[in-house]
Structure 1
Amino acid sequence: MGLIDQKGRLFGIINLIDLVVLLMVVVLAFGTYSKMAARAQQNQQVVLQEIEMDMFIKDVMPFALESFAVGDIVKDANSKTVLGTISAIRSEPYREPVVDPQGNYVMKEVPNKLNIILTVTGKAQVNNNSIRIQKDDVLVGNILIINTHKSKAQAVIIGVKTE
């Protein structure tokens, strides 16, 4: 017994053309099902919640603090996603480790340098697995390049609160 018999049947069971047609029908049915499932998932209502992010910007000059204002819109410079608006601004002196005369490391303030902490309020999709603003995940430790209409800076997300 060969692979194809005299009547053109595969293993003597099914015609080769019938097998190709059957496989095409199965592939088309699977493609239609997966496309419909993806479309149904997209049509689900996305509920946005208010979130509050603390963003830490380190080692900047004092004029950088003046370029941020409460109410400014903050965007991710890479993805152009609007992250929210600045609701609070705090600053603290920038400190570096320095060796004192006894040989110990101490944190010493650096003149004309600041750390800035921005509190940004925005809307995000919150679920058990993630917090997302559009297609960007909001995670503590994320390093972002942020823009306002006056400035651009590298910031680290140091806190996220959902309300």
Structure 2
Amino acid sequence: MALLDSKGRLFGKINLLDFGAALVILLVIFGIFVFPGTSGSVAQINSKTVPIEVDLVVRGLNLRDPQQLYEKGFTKGGKTNVIIRNQPYGQIGIKSIQEIPRTVSVPQPDGSVKELPDPRANNFSRDMLLTLEGKANITENGPVLGNSKVKIGMPFELEGFNYNFNATVIDLRLKDK
């Protein structure tokens, strides 16, 4: 009996192309389960963890009663859930919350400009400056929270028991250990 017959079958029973396809499938399965690759994100390799403070500005947060926001944990010393680029990071501490008064630039008769309280102030709209504190991995491309790089200008989504709103990063401070 010949090793290959006239139709390309091995020992007259197995087609050589089918045998090759089955071999490739077995090698792929073997490669997936035996050599799954590295775990974790690439951003965490060769990085050190340091404390970080992130300043966020919230513009035009519409709410009827500000006290209702502060009653359920959105307070200094509390924690909030953070979502960065649609990736949940987890909870991060709130270091400070400061409401920013609404002002308007008013030209003066001498040509100077003064910032005065806005007389058209909307009672339901608030601006705030928040400082969050947590731990970040430092890489050559900058700080990383979870699996997301943190840079000035990035949007953060803050979520809690009774709130969900967006803020923008305006400053980063890395603390030395």
Q: TM-score range by the shorter chain?
A: 0.5 to 0.7
The structural deviation recorded for 1:9 is 2.8
Aligned equivalents of 1:152, 1:8: Cα separation in 2: 68
Aligned equivalents of 1:31, 1:106: Cα separation in 2: 71
Aligned equivalents of 1:150, 1:37: Cα separation in 2: 45
Q: TM-score, normalised by structure 2?
A: 0.58
For residue 19 of structure 2, give the secondary structure of its aligned residue in structure 1. helix
Q: Which position in structure 1 is the counterpart of 2:90? A: 82
3, 12, 17: which one aligns with 2:15: 17
Percent identity, please.
17
Runs of 5+ unmatched residues, structure 1: 1-5
The structural deviation recorded for 1:53 is 1.1
Q: TM-score, normalised by structure 1?
A: 0.62
Cα 1:43/1:140, change in 2 over 3 Å: closer
Aligned residues: 152
Point out the more displaced range, 145-154 or 44-53: 44-53
Alignment of 1:1-163 (within 5 A): 7-9=6-8, 17-42=15-40, 48-60=49-61, 64=66, 67=70, 68-76=74-82, 81-96=89-104, 109-110=117-118, 111=121, 114-129=126-141, 131-149=143-161, 151-163=163-175
Runs of 5+ unmatched residues, structure 2: none
Cα 1:93/1:9, change in 2 over 3 Å: same
Aligned equivalents of 1:75, 1:152: Cα separation in 2: 9
Q: 2:58 touches 2:128 (CA, 8 Å); kept in 1?
A: yes
Q: Which position in structure 2 is the counterpart of 1:3? A: none
